[in-house]
Every structure is written in structure tokens, then in C-alpha cells.
Amino acid sequence: MLSESLSIAVLTLTAAILGCRLYRNRNLPPRPPGHWLLGHTFEIPSRRPWRKFDEWGKTNGPIYSLAIARTPVVILTGFHVTHDLLNKRLATFSTRPPRVMASLFVCGFDKALTFLPPGKHFKKTRRYLQETLNVRAAQAHESMQEAEVRAYALRLLEGSNVQDESRMLYSSVLLQLSLGYKPEELSDPIITLSERVAKSAALILSPGRFWVELLPLSKHLPSALLGFHVNRSVRAFNADLKQLIAESSRVIRSTMDDLQAPPSFCSKILKNVKSEDYTETKALVDFASISMYAGAVDTTIASLDTFLVAMMLYPDTQLRAQTEIDSVLGSGRLPTHADRSSLPYVEAILIEILRWNPPIPMTSRRLTSDVAYGDFLLPRGCNVIANIWQVFPLLSMNHDEDVFHDPEEFLPERFLGPKGNESVRRVQQATFGFGTRVCPGQHFATSSLWITIATLLTIFTVHPVPGEENKPVLDCEEGALIRILPYKCDLKPRSQMVVDALKRSQISMAAR
Ligand code: HEM
């Protein structure tokens, strides 16, 4: 504890001295009042920091700065300024802030795409993902998604816990995509390890979780000075990561040996690689599939949870969607991806979920050169945080009142008017991130979510569970990702005809 405090004191002083250099003669965006030495370092809450960023944005404008250990951090809360900078100035806005915790991993967590700086490995990993996840390639996975969603609906019909089953659904979909592996239960070792590693990545990305992130120089300290909490976390993360890579390698080897196994993201790349490139490519592929799991599962689950809570809070919206579905499918048929363009209201619900509660509420960059923007000069080396989530309407990105009236309300209708298509594009542009780092899984995510939502609305009506204590509320855990806190819902089958259709579809799938 003493060594940790000493390290913090010495490094804060060094950062303060170095930080002063960054401030001198710079025309930074406006700054809310903060401590004379520590600036806003200890004012950013670890729980829902985006709300605090939003509060500061209300008084300081769509671009403002904070001082974290005297180093400037620029916060972007408006859509236009974020678009101008992150989507248009790619050379300067593509690097993420370095993560000390990621670089302390012996088996190289910093090779995971989320932490990789632009360069050869970054380009190669993004290309691999693009080849599997682009709009056309994502269509190849639609029948797997449909089969998994129907199996999920059947488990819900049997009364299984919704939140556990949603995790099982999207873990299974993702592991089939990346490794060609179909887990049988939630306690599967690859799911357990992937969950732990994804949680570690989210912790590392959460501002204020580890003191070493505030002081980048700390990565040069001997481990004895890093303190018990940091050392214990690094040891635990390392052990999980090594074990996950070993387990995944075993699965990849066995699917590559099995000529009947369908090709997966990993096996397709590794089958075609030259032997001299195998070791480097294998490492990239391992970390790409870990990045996919970390990027995909919690985000998609958060959106599905948001949908279920929204349906309880807005029963008229649910009824309107079911009326649309019944008019297109008739009774006794389950939806497939081919029905997507015939169900505009269901599509509008999907987009509204992504706007109302974006699963990744903020993203960050490190500036690689000075940037002039209007009257401001953003200095090289400073961090930039784009606040995707906003609660106050005036300056907002996803809750922008210019485009989105009543931003706090769940109103899919906003996407059906004359400005509908433009609004859809705006939501996708903000919710899935920006520029070279835009989410590579967005088409896969929206097609997984669409088929889940359409199938659930066809088979069930989502009701709140009676009792004041079960009142539906959308609340989330602290961290860089949204994780919806446990809630209760009652899924009532809509008719015996759709239940029979679901059971029949399972029998015919089992017979294939
Ligand atoms: C509703 C679901 C999803 C949402 C809202 C979402 C959103 C995002 C956002 C905001 C980013 C950061 C972009 C930036 O920094 O500008 C991101 C990155 C990423 N996402 Fe997604 N995502 C979702 C699903 C997925 C899926 C299904 C996959 C993979 C199959 C995926 C893989 C990734 C990866 C690998 C990155 C890191 C990209 C990089 O750093 O270059 N995501 N996502």
C-alpha cells in the first residue's frame, strides 16, 4: 500500500510537470472548473461516467476539455464535431489511448484489436474481420442465427431464465462464427473463459478502475511498486487469457482436421496461410476472435435486454409491431431474414433500441498530431473521448433534439417519417463508432438482433411481472460497456399455432 501511494505521488508530480507543457500556449476548448493540481482526475465517476460528461457538456458546449493528472482530455458531445474529427481526419484520430494494464500482460493483451494502434497488424486484423463480417458475408450466417434463435425461443417456452438464455444464445452464435464451436451449456469452459477475458477488457477500458491508467509512466515501474490490486488483476487476467488461447487452439485444430466441419473465421484464415507466416497469423487470429467475443456478446445482449424492457414499458409499441408481423406472416409462420424488408416497424424498433440505449456509450482516441478545429488547438498526445450516449437533448449525439424529438422516449415511429432514412443513418453512425475503428461487426449485430426481436414478437408477448418490486426499469452496471441489471419479465405465448410452428421447426431442424 505504501509502495503504491509512493508511486502515485511521484508519478503524479512527474505527470503534472510534463502535463504543464501540454497546456502552455494552447488554445484548448473550454474547461469546467477543477482542482488546481489534480484537475478533474477524481471527479469522473466509475459508474456511468457518460452522464457526468453530458452534465459538463451542457454548460461547456459540444467540445470541451478536462484535465486528468494535468494532461488534457477533450470530450466531444455533439454529433457534428465528432463526425468532423473522427470520421474525416482519419490519420490523426485512429489510435486509442495506450492502456497500461493491457501492456502489462505477458501474453500480449495489447494485441487484441481494441488496443492495437494503426499499422501492419491493425490493418491485417481489420481485413480478416471485414472478410467475415461485411454485409454480404454476414448473410452467410443468417440460417445459423435463425436456428439458434428458434432453439432459444423453445428454451424460453420451457420457462428458462431470459437473461441466462440470451447470454447462451449470443455466446453460441459468436463461437460458431469465430471458432466453428457449438457450446452445449452456459458453463462451457470456452464461454466461461471468454466471459472472464471480455470482462477484464471492459474493466481496463473503464476510466478510473486502475490507478496505473492515470499515469502512463507507471508501466516502467517494477511490479513491486504497482500495488497488490494491479498485480493480482494482471496475474488473474494473464492466466485466463493463456487458458482461453489454449482451449480455442484445441478447438480450431479439431475443426480443421474434421473435413465435415463448417468453415469458421479462424479455420478459413489458417487453412490458407503459408507455413512461414503461420505463427504470426495464428497470434493475430487468436486475438481477433477474442476481440470479436469481447465486442459482440455483451453489446448484443445489452440491446436485447433493452428491447425486452422497452416492450414492457411501451405495450402499444409491442402491439403495433405484432399487428405488422401478423399481417405479413399470417398465423402459424415464423419469421426469417427474408421478411426483414417487409417489416418496417420491427426494423424501426431495432434502430430505436440502438439509439435509446447504445451499448458502448463512449469511445476514445489518442491524438497523433496537433489538430486545429475552429478557434481551438487540440495538442498531439491528448486523449479524446466521444460521448456516444447523451441524456440531455440539446447537445446530444444519439439523443439529438434537432433530429430526435422527445429523446428520452422510446418512439420507433421517429424512423418512419420523411426524415426516417436520414435518422437511421445518424443512429448507426453514432452507435457503431467512427472512422477507421468503426465497429466491424455492425451488420452481423443488426441481423442477429433483428431475427431475435422478430421471432420473440411473433411467438410471445412480453409482460411485466406483477408487483411494485418487479416494475421494469432500465438500469446498468458500471463500466465501459452497458450491462443491464437483472430484471423480471413474463413471456406469454401468443397462440398455440405459433408454438406448434416453433416445435415443428425444431423437429425438422433436428432431422437435417
Ligand atoms: C449492438 C451491437 C454492437 C454495438 C452497438 C457495437 C458498437 C461498437 C463501438 C461503438 C465500437 C467502437 C468504435 C470506435 O471506437 O469508434 C465497437 C468496436 C468493435 N466492435 Fe462492435 N458493436 C456491436 C457488436 C459487435 C459484434 C457483433 C462484433 C463482432 C462480431 C463486434 C466487434 C467489434 C470489434 C472487434 C471492435 C473493435 C474495433 C477496433 O478497435 O478497431 N461488435 N463496436
Q: Ligand 1 centroid vs 305 CA: distance in angstroms? A: 18
Q: Ligand 1 centroid vs 296 CA: distance in angstroms? A: 7
User: Any idea which residue has 440460417 for its cell?
Assistant: 143
| Nearest residue to 264 via CA among 143, 174, 390 | 174
Confidence band for 170, pLDDT divided at 50, 70 and 90: very high
* Predicted pLDDT of residue 7: 47
Task: Return the number of other C-beta atoms located less than 10 Å from residue 82's C-beta.
Answer: 25
Q: Ligand 1 centroid vs 226 CA: distance in angstroms? A: 31
Under 8 Å between Cβ of 36 and 69: no
Q: Which atom of ligand 1 is nearest to the CA of 363?
A: 15
| Nearest residue to 359 via CA among 170, 149, 184, 197 | 170
Q: Which atom of ligand 1 is nearest to the CA of 129?
A: 35
Q: In whole angstroms, what is the distance from residue 22 CA to residue 85 CA? A: 20
Indicate the Cα dihedral angle 58, 480, 388, 163, nearest 10°: -120
- Return phi, psi of residue 433, to 5°: 90, -165
DSSP single-letter state for residue 475: -
* Predicted pLDDT of residue 391: 37
Under 8 Å between Cβ of 283 and 329: no
Query: Vertex 270, ends 269 and 271: CA angle to 5°?
Result: 95
For residues 483-492, average pLDDT: 89
Ligand 1 pocket, CB under 6 A? 113-114, 133, 291-292, 295-296, 299-300, 303, 358-360, 363, 431-434, 437-441, 444-445
Q: Which atom of ligand 1 is nearest to the CA of 177?
A: 30
Q: Which residue has the least CA distance to atom 7 on ligand 1?
A: 432
Q: Ligand 1 centroid vs 431 CA: distance in angstroms? A: 9
User: Any idea which residue has 432459444 for its cell?
Assistant: 152
Burial 306-344 (b: 16+ CB within 10 A, else e): bbbbbbbbbeebbebbbebbeeebeeeebbebebbeebe
Q: Which residues are annotated as a binding site?
A: 439
* Predicted pLDDT of residue 208: 64
Confidence band for 395, pLDDT divided at 50, 70 and 90: very low
Q: Which atom of ligand 1 is nearest to the CA of 435?
A: 16
Q: Tell me the three cell numbers of residue 273.
A: 496461410
Q: Tell me the three cell numbers of residue 164.
A: 441466462
What digits encode the pLDDT tens for the residues 105-121? Answer: 655 666 788 888 899 99
Model confidence at 438: pLDDT above 90: yes
Q: Ligand 1 centroid vs 294 CA: distance in angstroms? A: 9
Which of 99, 432, 481, 484 has most ligand 1 atoms within 8 Å of its beta carbon, as the pocket-test mutant?
432
Q: How far apart are the first and last CA of the chain?
A: 61
ipTM of the complex: 0.99
Q: Which atom of ligand 1 is nearest to the CA of 388?
A: 10
* Predicted pLDDT of residue 78: 83
| Nearest residue to 28 via CA among 263, 377, 371 | 377
Q: Tell me the three cell numbers of residue 62.
A: 459540444
Model confidence at 15: pLDDT above 60: no
| Nearest residue to 264 via CA among 242, 243, 280, 286 | 286
Confidence band for 218, pLDDT divided at 50, 70 and 90: confident
Q: Which residues are annotated as a binding site for heme?
A: 439
3-state secondary structure of 30: coil
Indicate the Cα dihedral angle 464, 467, 471, 475, nearest 10°: -110
Q: In whole angstroms, what is the distance from residue 455 CA to residue 450 CA? A: 8
Whole-number percent of the chain with pLDDT over 90: 49
Q: Ligand 1 centroid vs 429 CA: distance in angstroms? A: 12
Q: Ligand 1 centroid vs 287 CA: distance in angstroms? A: 14
Higher pLDDT, 266 or 486: 266
Q: In whole angstroms, what is the distance from residue 383 CA to residue 21 CA? A: 15
Q: In whole angstroms, what is the distance from residue 502 CA to residue 25 CA? A: 67
Q: Which atom of ligand 1 is nearest to the CA of 116?
A: 40
Q: In whole angstroms, what is the distance from residue 216 CA to residue 233 CA? A: 17
| Nearest residue to 67 via CA among 44, 50, 49, 48 | 44
Task: Determine how β-strand 383-387 pairs with β-strand 71-76.
Answer: parallel
For residues 417-425, average pLDDT: 76
| Nearest residue to 474 via CA among 257, 299, 312, 336 | 312
Which of 125, 303, 439 has most ligand 1 atoms within 8 Å of its beta carbon, as the pocket-test mutant?
439
* Predicted pLDDT of residue 390: 64
Most confident of 62-76, 438-452, 462-476: 438-452
Higher pLDDT, 507 or 9: 507
> Mean pLDDT across the chain, nearest whole number?
85
Burial 469-491 (b: 16+ CB within 10 A, else e): eeebebebebbbbbbbeebbbeb
What digits encode the pLDDT tens for the residues 327-340? Answer: 999 978 999 999 99
* Predicted pLDDT of residue 10: 47
Q: In whole angstroms, what is the distance from residue 329 CA to residue 321 CA? A: 12
Sequence-distant (≥ 6) Cβ neighbours of residue 54 within 8 angstroms: 77, 387, 389, 390, 391, 392, 395, 396
Q: Ligand 1 centroid vs 298 CA: distance in angstroms? A: 10
Q: Ligand 1 centroid vs 284 CA: distance in angstroms? A: 17
Q: Which atom of ligand 1 is nearest to the CA of 114?
A: 40
pTM above 0.80, yes or no: yes
Q: In whole angstroms, what is the distance from residue 222 CA to residue 4 CA? A: 11
Which of 126, 265, 299 has most ligand 1 atoms within 8 Å of its beta carbon, as the pocket-test mutant?
299
Model confidence at 5: pLDDT above 60: no
Confidence band for 300, pLDDT divided at 50, 70 and 90: very high
Inter-CA distances, 478 with 48, 144, 484, Å:
6, 33, 10
Query: What is 353-371 written as a DSSP string?
Result: HHHHS-SS-EEEEE-SS-E
Task: Determine how β-strand 383-387 pairs with β-strand 362-366.
Answer: antiparallel
Confidence band for 420, pLDDT divided at 50, 70 and 90: confident
3-state secondary structure of 492: strand
